[in-house]
Amino acid sequence: MATLQKSLLFLLLLLLIFTQITSNPSPEIVEAFSSEPGDSALEHDVDHLKSKISVLESTIDERSHELSIKDESIRQLEMAIQEKSDSISSLQIEIEYFQQKATLDAKDQMSNSHVRATELEKQVDNLRKEIEMQNKKKDALEVRTNVAEGKIRELNLKLEDIQRINSEQKSKIHNAEHALQLAQEEMMKAKLRADSVSKELREVHGKWLPHWIAVHIFHFQSYLVFHWNEHGRPALDITIQKAFKKKDQLKRWAEPQIRNVNTHLIPMIKEEWSNFINYLEPHLQSLLSKIIEVYNASKNSLTPHLVKARKLTDPYIQEVKKFSEPYINLVVMVTKPHYETMQVALKPYTKKSIRTYRKLIKSACLYHHQATAGLTLPILVLFKVFSVIFSGKTKGRTFGASINHTRRRMKRHHPDKYSQGR
């Protein structure tokens, strides 16, 4: 019992020290963490981890309070057991005294002493039963304390995991900041290189183009920039704001529809699609085998004719190549310097046009996906409503149906990759 009490007191002291340490973090860490310009998602994760740590600290305090209450109940039970044992010893002493006195007293007192002895024996039996009950309660309390200690260990392990995750998040934030600094440095270097290259290209462009064409191009560029800043950019900003508002409204309207589609319509479509595939698979296999047979037969019949045609046309193709090759080389030699000078002069404009073209393709793909989603949602909802109204109970899947077929997923082309490929 003494070792158990010492271990419980030691655990309580450790818990109190741990809760004080975790509940009072150092201000340097808080300032450092608050001063980090990390991502909003990472800050949300850190706040979520802090809330988990506070909840675990409150649960640890409750467990320590329950352990202290259980220790007090165990002490009270031990005091009661000690009192009962003292009363038993006193009763045994009285029994021995009455037994010794019974040998000396008369026979009339013997009967009284026997009655008293039986009563005392009954009391002793009752006290023993009470002691056994108290011991059982004590064992149950010890089992509960062991369970509470196990839960406390689990909570400590969870708290250690959360602290480890917090430290990993801090290290990731630090690495991200370092990578951001490096990227900014590389971007500045790239800007300097681009400025130097643009200066060189302007010099080359000025040497290649006549002066009056360069002046007209400069005036036309300034005119376009002025009208874009005056009329084009505000109109584009207004349209983008309206598009974002419409997007938010459509998203709020579509959320319950999408939830309904995900919960009801998609499982039904999957089931119907699986039944359709199971029905169509043998027909497709037979059709594929027939197509392969027809292809092999046509290939075997057409290959000799194709070989003959190639043999007949090969000398004519060689003569055409020999006749046209010197003219093609001459055209390439004449146009190559002009093409290179034009490419050097138009390189900055082509870069800008390619960038704007990519941005336009990205925005068009995004708006196209949003518009298709907004157009297909009402159709899906109407299809679901009509299917519920006009169809009866859906047939359950037969147990003998094969479910080992593989489903192919369509490849989704990313708009960024598509625009880069263009």
Within a domain: residue 398? no
Using DSSP's 3-state secondary structure scheme, residue 37 falls into coil
Per residue in 15-36, pLDDT (tens digit) is 666 555 554 444 444 444 444 4
Query: What are the residues whose beta carbons fall under 8 Å from the beta carbon of 420, sequence distance 6 or more?
Result: 358
Residue type, 85: S
Both tokens of 144, joined, read 């509960």
Within a domain: residue 395? no
Residue for token digits 């450092």? 32
Q: Are residues 352 and 317 in the same domain?
A: yes
Four-point Cα dihedral 91, 92, 94, 96, nearest 10: 170
Q: Are residues 141 and 260 in the same domain?
A: no
What's the pTM?
0.22
Q: Are residues 54 and 161 in the same domain?
A: yes
- The pLDDT of 376-381, averaged and rounded, is 66
Within a domain: residue 401? no
Last residue of a domain, one of 186, 219, 234: 186
- The pLDDT of 246-270, averaged and rounded, is 78
Within a domain: residue 200? no
Per residue in 236-248, pLDDT (tens digit) is 788 888 878 887 8
pLDDT value at position 26? 45
Q: Is a pLDDT exceeding 60 seen at residue 415?
A: no
Q: Are residues 161 and 304 in the same domain?
A: no
pLDDT value at position 329? 80
pLDDT value at position 2? 52
pLDDT value at position 390? 56
Residue type, 278: N
* Cβ burial, residue 67 (10 Å; 0-12/13-18/19+): buried
- The pLDDT of 96-108, averaged and rounded, is 69
Q: Is a pLDDT exceeding 70 seen at residue 398?
A: no
Do residues 75 and 63 lie in contact, with contact meaning Cβ atoms separated by under 8 Å?
no
Of the two residues 36 and 210, the one the predictor is more confident about is 210
Last residue of a domain, one of 155, 186, 217: 186
- Compute and round to an integer the Cα radius of gyration of the chain: 45
Task: Tell me the average pLDDT of the chain.
Answer: 73
**329: number of CA atoms within 13 Å, CB side?**
6
For residue 403, the 8-state DSSP code is -
pLDDT value at position 193? 76
405: pLDDT confidence band, cut at 50, 70 and 90?
A: very low
Q: Which phi and psi angles does 326 have, rounded to 5°?
A: -65, -35
Q: Is a pLDDT exceeding 80 seen at residue 123?
A: yes
Q: Are residues 357 and 270 in the same domain?
A: yes
Concatenated DSSP letters of 360-387: HHHHHHHHHHHHHHHHHHHHHHHHHHHH
Q: Is a pLDDT exceeding 70 seen at residue 293?
A: yes
Q: Are residues 181 and 226 in the same domain?
A: no
Within a domain: residue 90? yes
Do residues 145 and 67 lie in contact, with contact meaning Cβ atoms separated by under 8 Å?
yes
Q: Is a pLDDT exceeding 80 seen at residue 139?
A: yes
Closest CA to 36 of 173, 169, 168, 163: 173
- The pLDDT of 119-130, averaged and rounded, is 83
Q: Is a pLDDT exceeding 50 seen at residue 76?
A: yes
Query: What are the residues whose beta carbons fall under 8 Å from the beta carbon of 141, sequence distance 6 or more?
Result: 70, 73, 74, 77
Within a domain: residue 192? no
Q: Are residues 153 and 231 in the same domain?
A: no
Q: Are residues 249 and 312 in the same domain?
A: yes
Q: Are residues 107 and 253 in the same domain?
A: no
Q: Are residues 272 and 172 in the same domain?
A: no
Q: Which phi and psi angles does 410 have, rounded to 5°?
A: -70, 145
pLDDT value at position 412? 47
Distance, in Å, from the CA atom of 61 to the CA atom of 12, rounded to the nearest integer, reads 10
Within a domain: residue 396? no
**Considering only 46-60, 103-117, 233-247, which range has the smallest mean pLDDT?**
103-117
- The pLDDT of 316-342, averaged and rounded, is 79
- The pLDDT of 51-66, averaged and rounded, is 82
Q: For a pLDDT cut of 90, what percent of the chain falls above it?
A: 0
Q: Are residues 181 and 227 in the same domain?
A: no
Q: Are residues 111 and 239 in the same domain?
A: no
What is each CA distance from 273 to 354, 378, 398, in whole angstroms?
A: 43, 21, 15
Last residue of a domain, one of 186, 218, 233: 186
Q: Is a pLDDT exceeding 60 seen at residue 314?
A: yes
CATH number at residue 119: 1.20.1270
Q: Is a pLDDT exceeding 60 seen at residue 413?
A: no
Do residues 98 and 117 lie in contact, with contact meaning Cβ atoms separated by under 8 Å?
yes
Residue 40 lies in domain: 2-186
Within a domain: residue 53? yes
Helices (H), 209-265: 211-227, 233-260
Count of the separate structural domains present in the chain: 2
Region of 224 on the Ramachandran plot (φ > 0 left; ψ -120 to 50 alpha; else beta)? alpha
**Considering only 166-170, 237-241, 296-300, which range has the smallest mean pLDDT?**
166-170
- The pLDDT of 116-143, averaged and rounded, is 82
